[in-house]
Amino acid sequence: MGILFRPFLCLMLFTSASAFATDFTALYQKVDPAVVVIHTMEGATKVKDAEPSGIGSGVIISKQGDILTAAHVVSRADIVVVELGDHRKIRARVMSSMVPADLALIRLQELPKQLPVATLGDSDKVKTGEEVMVIGAPYGLEHTLTTGHVSGRRLQETDFALEPIDFLQTDAAINQGNSGGPMFNMRGEVIGVVSHILSESGGSQGMGFAVTSKTVRNLMLEQPPLWFGVDIYVVADELARALNVPQDMGFLVQNVALESIGDHLGLRAGHVPVSFGDDPVLLGGDVVLAVGPVQVRNSPTLLRDIRDYYDGLAPGQPIQMTVLRAGRVETLATSKQKDPRQR
């Protein structure tokens, strides 16, 4: 009798599971238009001459063309091109970047009509076990939907003694190209920006992380940091002494984006690849010691002090930066242009 009832039991279990499965179709159609693909390029000032260097994702959050993404997607780019849902491609400019939190805010240089905008949700209300969905371009496959649950919440300590960065952990599949894409709750609100995965293979293994929308508001929207167009590596203590840095901490310049503040200052990027522990690093570039009167130091107010110095300068006034270059301390300067954070 047990054998006779097994097919029936399996059918009941299948029917029951199907009945409770979530249909993401309507929600996906509602929010996907605000999701964008971000193409980055290096090596030229014109799109047609540049070499593609990376791909990531982002989400439009304002009618002014502001887009949230991950800092590592755009930090080394000379050119950023945003591909909208209708496949139009528009150049964008980096407005702000917070590398320790892996967050960046970019802005479209041209405003298309009827720009779709996503809504930021309240990540403090998110509970472990909630269903979520992620939309991005894993391996370049645009507007791919993956779903899963919130697996937990994690705090990560950062450089500069900033407050720990709040991450949502998820089992939704996340792969290369998803970086910077939005994590949505079941109301279609953005509750996180995809940052990274923990993986031994390089592919998704159910350990993805997204920076919470609360962190986005605190770091990028309420008091947005300034982007100097420079990719840095923090050197401190013993490493600083090994590089003959005349203070306890400095910013070792890795890359400098074309036409950025760092480029106008004449900062020199590194070019000699080495490894510090597990970190690949480029030596040979400048070490930033101070920005204006603000010395590079391990302080919870460091980035805010740098932004306040810059904001206190009027257009045309000199921006100054002190660097260690080839063993000598030098001062670089350039005139402040119109604030790139203002349209």
Known catalytic residues?
A: 72, 102, 179
Residues 6 or more apart whose CB falls under 8 angstroms from that of 90 comprise 81, 82, 84, 108, 109, 110, 112
DSSP 299: -
Return d(Cα 317, Cα 21) in angstroms, integer.
61
* Tokens, residue 340: 């790139």
Phi, psi angles (nearest 5°) of residue 100: -60, -30
Return d(Cα 94, Cα 75) in angstroms, integer.
9
Handedness of CA 207, 213, 217, 221 (dihedral sign): positive
Return d(Cα 297, Cα 106) in angstroms, integer.
27
The residue among 69, 71, 204 whose CA lies nearest residue 146 is 204
Check: CB of residue 138 under 8 Å from CB of residue 98: no
The residue among 151, 243, 2 whose CA lies nearest residue 253 is 243
- Please report, for the chain, how many H helices and E strands are present, in that order: 7, 21
Let me know how long the chain is: 343
Return d(Cα 311, Cα 24) in angstroms, integer.
44
| Residue 190 CA to its chain's centroid (Å) | 15
Q: What are residue 140's DSSP bridge partners?
A: none
Q: Provide the CB-side half-sphere exposure for 248 (13 A, CA).
A: 4
Q: What are residue 272's DSSP bridge partners?
A: 283
